[in-house]
Amino acid sequence: MEINPINITKDSKIYIAGYRGMVGSAIWRALSKAGYTNLVGKSSKELDLRNQQSVKSFFAEEKPDAVIDAAARVGGILANRDYPYQFLMENLQIQNNLIDEAKKAGVEKFIFLGSSCIYPKLAPQPLKEEYLLTGPLEPTNQWYAIAKIAGIKACESIREQYGWDYVSLMPTNLYGPNDNFDLKTSHVLPAMIRKFHEAKAAGHTPVTLWGTGSPLREFLHVDDLARAVVFALENRLEDHLYNIGTGTDLTIKALAEMIQDITQHKGEILWDSDKPDGTPRKLLDVSKINQQGWQAQISLEEGILSTYQWFLEHIEELKEVKL
């Protein structure tokens, strides 16, 4: 179906769900920098996105012109393993309420954010968009992945049935300012920053990391993702699903050594091979979004350095909230 062009202007009302998180706050910064003046955000205390009636009332009151869904329950291998029901159900509730109420309210521009974990564990590398639903998922994050796949299909069905510009962006592993540095629930890169920093502060004690260090991973600075969201907002993309990444990866061991160097930790790195590695490799094919006119700009070393600086600037408040 032909997708209706949506006229988004600098004063269009744009609702950013999850605007206080790492992704949402980066999108808010990017849109503000681009001159958008009518941004709407609600904290989870102000608006519980798991509550259908609350979301319905929000749309009736605010009447946004476009919605960016950066709200989700997220976490690393440990959090996904320990809370499978919450990762499945809460993400389904959040996205179903947002997508359905946006559709009912006549919102014709919707950007849904997911994750590269939607792809099969052993899919060919690099991962292309067409590999979705071609094989079993990685067991350690299947609950989150299934929820996100449902969101992608919901947006695709609205695009097919109504001709509205509902598009899904699947970023690779993200990092940057406002990341989660809680060792129990964080992803690998911020967890390493904290571990190496604390080990340095304790006299360069050894740092123990999960797995063997052999899996390959791709990392994207959250400000690059935010630029991709602005790009998707301002353009009518040809398809409903796009990978967002750098197109390059490195081993977890190489990542650890880079972070060790940036944090100036001089101690030993120990690998706990009894702990799971997760997916062997997870590199995105980003040729589709590159052909549309977007590509990543921030190098990994530059991005980790700025993220570590942010961590150091906010370390006292991070301690206060016991992250």
Q: What is the pLDDT of residues 140-167, one digit of tens each?
A: 889 999 999 999 999 999 999 999 999 9
Predicted local distance difference test score (pLDDT) of residue 1? 62
| pLDDT tens per residue, range 81-134 | 888 999 999 999 999 999 999 999 999 999 999 999 999 988 999 999 999 999
The active-site residue out of 119, 144, 175, 242 is 144
Q: Set out the domains of the chain in order of their start, with CATH numbers.
A: 14-176+219-247+283-298 (3.40.50.720)
Q: Is it the case that residue 316 has pLDDT exceeding 90?
A: no
Q: Is 270 helix (H, G, I), strand (E, B) or coil?
A: strand
* Other C-beta atoms lying within 10 Å of the C-beta of residue 100: 16
18 annotated ligand-binding residue? yes
CA–CA gap between residue 86 and residue 84 (Å, rounded): 6
187 assigned ligand-binding residue: yes
Q: Establish whether 144 is a catalytic residue.
A: yes
Structure-token match 């998922």, residue found: 137
Q: Is 236 annotated as a binding residue?
A: no
Asked whether the whole model's pTM tops 0.95, one would answer no
Structure tokens at 23: 């992704």
Whether residue 321 is predicted with pLDDT greater than 70 in this model: the reply is: no
Q: Is 135 annotated as belonging to a binding site?
A: no
Mean pLDDT score, 231-257: 97
Establish whether 173 is an annotated binding residue.
Answer: yes
| Whole-number pLDDT of residue 278 | 75
Bridge-based pairing state of the strands 173-175 and 219-221 = parallel
**Could you tell me which of 189, 221, 217, 231 has the C-alpha nearest to residue 297?**
221
**pLDDT for res 81:** 83
Sign of CA dihedral 12, 14, 20, 26: negative
Does residue 36 have a known ligand-binding role? no
User: pLDDT-derived band of residue 322, with 50, 70 and 90 as boundaries?
Assistant: very low
The three state secondary structure string of 211-230 is: CCCCCEECEEEHHHHHHHHH
pLDDT above 70 coverage of the chain, percent: 97
186 is in an annotated binding site: no
More confident residue, 75 or 282: 282
